Amino acid sequence: MSMQSLAVQKRSATTTTPPSVRVASEPVAKLIDISKCIGCKACQVACMQWNDLRDEVGVQHGIYDNPVDLTDQSWTVMRFAEYKSPEGKLEWLIRKDGCMHCEDPGCLKACPSPGAIVKYANGIVDFNSSNCIGCGYCIAGCPFNIPRISQKDNKAYKCTLCSDRVSVGLEPACVKTCPTGAIQFGAKEDMVARGAKRVGDLKERGYQQAALYDPAGVGGTHVMYVLQHGDKPDLYSGLPTDPKISPWVSLWKGVTKPLLSIGLGLAVLGAFFHYVTRGPKDEEPGAH
C-alpha cells in the first residue's frame, strides 16, 4: 500500500517528479543478525498477524523451512542451511528471507504500471496493489527473487517493511516480536554502525570473514544481514554474492525504452514529411 504520509522518491513508470514535498525522513534500515537468530519463526507469525495474511497450511517437506518458499501470503520465511565448516564444525545458518528494499529496486525499474511500485524517501520499497496489473515484470526485475503473484487476484505481493507502522513511528512487526534481538530497526546510518560493531565482535570470536551484507550492486539495501561468513553469502540458502539488476533488464528498461520509442516517433514523422515533400505516387505521374 502506498502511504500518503510518506514522501516518495521513485515511482514506477513515471517520468515526472513523484509526490515529495514532505521533509524527507532519514533512510531507515532493518538489520538482521544471522548469528543471533534461533529460527523460532516468531517474525513469520508477527508478519502474518500484522498484515492479515493466512497462508494455506502446507505439508511438511522434511526440512525446517515452513512454508518452503515465499508466497503472496508469506512475505518472510526462515531458510535453514546446515554448514560444515573446514574445521569440521557444524553450523546452522538461518536466514530470514524477504524483500531487501534495494536502494536501486529492480522491481520498480521493470514495472510498467504508473505508481504500482513506489520507493519512499526513507528507502522502503512498497507495492501499491490497486495499481498492479499482474504482469509479473517485477519478478523479472528483482535480483533476489522476492515478489510473488497471487493466484487469487493476480497481484504482486511482498514485504512492505511495515511501511504503515514505520509511517507512524513504529518498528516493523517482525522487529517488535523477535525474542533474541536478532532483528533491529532504525536509521540506516545507525544500523550500519551497529552491524559493523557486531561484525567486529564476531571477528574477535573467530569468524574472520564476518561481514555486513549491504550489497553495493543495488546501491545498498534497507534490509541488511550480519553474516558470520561474509565471504560466502551463498551459504545462506543462496543469498546472492553480488546482486545487481540483470543486464537484460537494464537493456530492456534502460536505453531501449527511450531509444525505440523515439525511433517509432521518427518513423511516423518521416512518413509524414515524405508525403509533404514528395507527395503520393500515381500510376501515371501527374494523373491526379
| Chain positions contacting another protein, by CB under 8 A | 13-15, 110, 112-114, 131, 133-137, 139-140, 145, 149, 154, 246, 248-249, 251-252, 256-258, 260-261, 263-264, 267-268, 271, 274-275, 278-285, 287-288
- Cβ atoms of 44 and 157 closer than 8 Å: no
Q: Which is nearer to another protein, 16 or 60 (CB)?
A: 16
In this complex, which beta carbon is closest to another protein, that of residue 113 or of residue 167?
113
Q: Which amino acid is residue 146, in one-letter code?
A: I
Q: How far apart are CA 132 and CA 50, in angstroms?
A: 22
CB of 252 to another protein, least distance (A): 4
Residue 56 or 284 having the CB closest to another protein: 284
Provide the minimum distance between the beta carbon of 239 and another protein in the complex, in angstroms, as a whole number.
16
In the 8-state DSSP scheme, what is residue 22? S
CA distance 200 to 185: 19
Three-state SS for 107-136 is: HHHHCCCCCCEEEECCCCEEECHHHCCCCC
Euclidean distance between CA atoms 224 and 195, whole angstroms: 8
139 phi/psi in degrees, rounded to 5: -70, -40
Q: Spell out the residues 6+ positions from residue 11 whose beta carbon is closer than 8 angstroms to its own.
A: 18, 108, 114, 115, 117, 118, 119
CB of 144 to another protein, least distance (A): 11
Smallest separation (angstroms) from another protein to the CB of 112: 4
- Residue number with CB closer to another protein (32 or 249): 249
H or E segment and range at residue 32: strand 28-33
Smallest separation (angstroms) from another protein to the CB of 12: 9
CB 198 within 8 A of CB 226: yes
Smallest distance, Å, CB 255 to another protein?
Answer: 11
Closer Cβ to another protein, 90 or 264, answer by number: 264
Q: Give the C-alpha separation, 109 to 100, whole Å.
A: 15
Task: Compare residues 94 and 107 and give the one whose CB is closer to another protein.
Answer: 107
How near is the Cβ of 1 to another protein at its closest, in Å? 18
Q: Which is nearer to another protein, 59 or 287 (CB)?
A: 287
